[in-house]
Amino acid sequence: MAHRLLEPRVVDEVERAAGVHAGWAWTHTGFTDLSHRAAHPCGVFLGTPFSVCAKLDSSLGGAEQFTAELNGSSGVTIVLCSFVRPSLTMLSGSPR
């Protein structure tokens, strides 16, 4: 079974959102499945100069669940992140 995040409509939306954020057309060049570390399908769309962390929940309560997770103890909403070995650099976010 193919990963749900790799369905064409999902890939298109991730690439569109990343492109809007970056200000240019962005496409992924690879994908790392991280679903074994989460309760929902999730992974990292690899690209240059940044990669995009994505999680998918199409259930009725999915948006509410993700909102609750983003409002957690960190106090920061990460929009896009760049993986720079060996650290994680936040490109943008909004403090709560």
pLDDT digits (tens, 9 = 90+) for 2-41: 888 999 988 998 999 899 888 999 999 999 999 888 777 8
Domain count along the chain:
1
Range of the domain at 67: 4-95
The pTM of the full predicted model, rounded to 2 decimals, is 0.68
Structure tokens at 92: 């943008």
The answer to whether the Cα torsion of 27, 29, 31, 32 is positive or negative is negative
Contacts 24+ apart (CB under 8 A), 72-79: 78/53, 79/21
**Confidence (pLDDT) at 93:** 41
Structure tokens at 85: 């070995």
Token match 């496409």: residue?
27
Per the model's pLDDT, the better-predicted residue between 59 and 70 turns out to be 59
d(CA 22, CA 73): 27
